[in-house]
């Protein structure tokens, strides 16, 4: 049997991302953000229960988030110019949270894929 540590880690991190996002969406009136944040929560529950269907919400979240962030960031830079903050360093540091989110999505999808592949 494959080790479940990676699956549990992805599940816990997915829940840790989605729960505050859902709370924020509910308090700020951002309905679609809250609805979309249900995907990693559903995936997290399934991963913690070690169900193979849980990979699909994780994949769907990743497939939506990564291209959306890349396209939005490129649009924002094209609109504002580079550097879009006062200095280049501030602008590069401003990209770090999104890059971490995209990297986490890619790594989490890979861990889930490796665990559930035949």
What does the alpha-carbon distance between residue 15 and residue 6 come to, in Å, rounded to a whole number? Answer: 14
Tokens 């969406």, residue? 25
Q: Is residue 86 predicted with pLDDT exceeding 90?
A: no
Which pTM value belongs to this model?
Answer: 0.87
Q: Which residues of 75-109 are buried (b: 16+ CB within 10 A; e: fewer)?
A: eeeeeeeeeeeeeeeebeeeeeeeeeebebbeebb
pLDDT 10s digits, 18-37: 999 999 999 999 988 889 99
Cβ–Cβ under 8 Å, residues 59 and 42: no
Q: Per-residue pLDDT tens for 35-71?
A: 999 999 999 999 999 999 999 999 999 999 999 999 9
pLDDT, position 118: 79
């Amino acid at each position: 049997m494959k080790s479940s540590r990676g699956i549990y880690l992805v599940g816990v991190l997915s829940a840790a991302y989605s729960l505050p996002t859902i709370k924020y969406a509910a308090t700020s009136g951002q309905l679609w953000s809250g609805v979309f944040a249900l995907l990693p929560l559903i995936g997290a529950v399934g991963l913690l229960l070690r169900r193979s269907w849980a990979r699909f919400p994780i994949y769907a979240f990743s497939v939506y988030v990564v291209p959306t962030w890349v396209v939005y960031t490129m649009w924002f830079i094209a609109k504002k110019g580079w550097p879009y903050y006062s200095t280049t360093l501030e602008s590069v540091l401003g990209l770090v949270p999104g890059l971490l989110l995209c990297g986490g999505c890619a790594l989490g999808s890979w861990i889930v894929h490796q665990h559930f592949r035949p």
